[in-house]
């Protein structure tokens, strides 16, 4: 598939790229992979997915959306379980982190990645 010149390379968001690398470090060991990515003028996002079970033992998929809003300086991570039998989506975890100066970016990535790493699949 040919990339259009009008569509920016979504991987040019260094904060999101670094955060996804950190998350895949821990989630990758649990069978997660990068499923989708997208962007707009002000937002970049990546979706990870991997195998999971709900509290009752039902098999399914855990979807983890990692998004960065450049203008509002926010990082959001949203995880939800998708039941394999019915395709029902159940929220699991959500994290929204705001930052001010660019100098905070390494700390933001570290804090968000550490919080997400502790989420059970």
| Percent of the chain residues topping a pLDDT of 70 | 89
Q: Where are the domains of the chain?
A: 11-108
Per-residue H/E/C for 44-111: EEEEEEEEEECCCCCEEEEEEEEEEECCCCEEEEEEEEEECCCCCEEEEEEEEEECCCHHHHHHHHHH
Chain-centroid distance, C-alpha 118: 14
In 3D, which of 43, 119, 32 has the Cα closest to residue 75?
43
CA distances from 95 to 58, 74, 75, 78, 109 (A): 25, 10, 8, 6, 12
CA distance 106 to 7: 27
What CA dihedral angle connects 21, 118, 108 and 31, to 10 degrees?
A: 10
Confidence of residue 102 (pLDDT cuts 50, 70, 90): confident
Check pLDDT > 70 for residue 105.
yes
Average of per-residue pLDDT across 47-75:
91
Check pLDDT > 60 for residue 12.
yes
Average of per-residue pLDDT across 32-53:
92
The predicted pLDDT at position 11 comes to 61
pTM of the model: 0.78
The predicted pLDDT at position 116 comes to 81
């Amino acid at each position: 598939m040919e990339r259009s010149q009008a569509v920016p390379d979504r991987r040019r968001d260094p904060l999101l790229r670094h955060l996804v690398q950190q998350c895949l470090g821990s989630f990758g060991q649990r069978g997660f992979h990068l499923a989708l990515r997208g962007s707009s003028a002000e937002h970049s996002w990546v979706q990870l997915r991997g195998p999971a079970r709900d509290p009752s033992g039902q098999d399914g998929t855990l979807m983890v959306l990692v998004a960065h809003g450049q203008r509002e300086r926010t990082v959001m991570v949203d995880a939800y379980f998708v039941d394999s039998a019915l395709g029902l989506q159940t929220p699991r975890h959500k994290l929204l982190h705001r930052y001010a100066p660019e100098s905070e970016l390494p700390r933001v990535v570290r804090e968000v990645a550490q919080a997400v790493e502790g989420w059970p699949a």
